[in-house]
């Protein structure tokens, strides 16, 4: 991660998260914003590899910034960093396109480790949040093993995005255009009733998907 945006209105916490980002990704550039307006302005000036986004801000919701990033900079990895651990906040963030959800009450070392795992395709989720997501899908998601009538190609794409690959990487792996991959992802989301890569990773794991393509041959 070379460029990190941190959206946090408490100055001490903003500094703390900046130090965490610098330790997780040595040499990265960190841009801080304390309001939605400041974050949107920073997004107009820079393209970020990672955004750490608080939810409650003086002039609105961090979800507005997250949604704008998903539209304008789809390759930016968006991780919510918040003290809010209720189901509605978690589901709302994942539905808006968050790739992770970290609670600021965690130990510094845990947050650093979870951010570093992003590079390995592991969603940055606090353990308690991962448990709540699992429980949510036990109650409301498709039954384990149900593919939602996905085609063979859609299952391949789901497998790869579940491993943390970005659209361009999936396209290269399957020798498809990025537009074609985007179309497959939209179809997968629609059939499974999901809206984020974190949810896709969960479904891929539940389905026990493994990729049998050219990798490693």
Q: What is the pLDDT along the chain (217 residues), one digit of tens a residue?
A: 899 999 999 999 999 999 999 999 999 999 999 999 999 999 999 999 999 999 999 999 999 999 999 889 989 999 999 999 887 788 788 878 898 999 999 999 999 999 998 888 788 889 888 887 777 666 555 544 456 688 889 988 998 887 778 889 899 999 999 999 999 999 998 888 787 777 787 777 777 665 444 443 3
Alpha-carbon distance 127 to 111, whole Å? 11
Domain stops at, among 109, 139, 169? 139
Q: Are residues 100 and 37 in the same domain?
A: yes
Q: Are residues 112 and 176 in the same domain?
A: no
Residue 180 within a domain: yes
Q: Are residues 24 and 120 in the same domain?
A: yes
Per-residue burial over 71-110, b = 16 or more CB atoms within 10 Å of its CB, e = otherwise = eebeebbbbbbbebeeeebbbbbbebbbbbbbbbebeeee
Here the CATH number for the domain that contains residue 100 is 3.40.50.2300
- Domain containing 195 equals 142-206
Q: Are residues 126 and 43 in the same domain?
A: yes
Residue 212 within a domain: no
Domain stops at, among 93, 113, 139? 139
Residue 117 DSSP one-character state: G
Alpha-carbon distance 45 to 121, whole Å? 27
- 164: how many CB neighbours lie within 10 A of its CB? 18
Residue 53 within a domain: yes
Evaluate whether 206 touches 144 at the Cβ level (below 8 Å): yes
Q: Are residues 18 and 101 in the same domain?
A: yes
* Structural domain count of the chain: 2
Domain stops at, among 139, 170, 187? 139
């Amino acid at each position: 991660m070379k460029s990190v945006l941190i959206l946090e209105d408490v100055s001490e916490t903003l500094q703390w998260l900046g130090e965490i980002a610098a330790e997780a990704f040595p040499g990265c550039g960190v841009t801080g914003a304390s309001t939605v307006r400041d974050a949107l302005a920073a997004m107009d000036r820079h393209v970020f590899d990672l955004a750490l986004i608080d939810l409650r801000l003086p002039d609105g919701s961090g979800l507005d910034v997250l949604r704008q990033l998903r539209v304008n900079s789809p390759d930016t990895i968006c991780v919510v960093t918040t003290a809010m651990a209720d189901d509605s906040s978690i589901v709302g963030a994942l539905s808006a396109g968050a790739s992770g959800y970290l609670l600021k009450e965690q130990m510094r070392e845990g947050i650093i480790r979870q951010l570093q795992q992003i590079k390995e395709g592991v969603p940055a989720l606090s353990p308690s949040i991962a448990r709540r997501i699992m429980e949510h899908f036990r109650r409301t998601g498709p039954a384990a093993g149900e593919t939602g009538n996905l085609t063979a190609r859609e299952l391949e794409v789901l497998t790869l995005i579940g491993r943390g690959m970005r659209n361009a990487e999936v396209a290269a792996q399957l020798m498809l255009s990025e537009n074609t991959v985007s179309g497959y992802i939209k179809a997968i989301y629609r059939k499974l009733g999901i809206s984020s890569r974190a949810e896709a990773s969960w479904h891929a794991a539940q389905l026990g998907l493994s990729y049998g393509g050219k990798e490693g041959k």
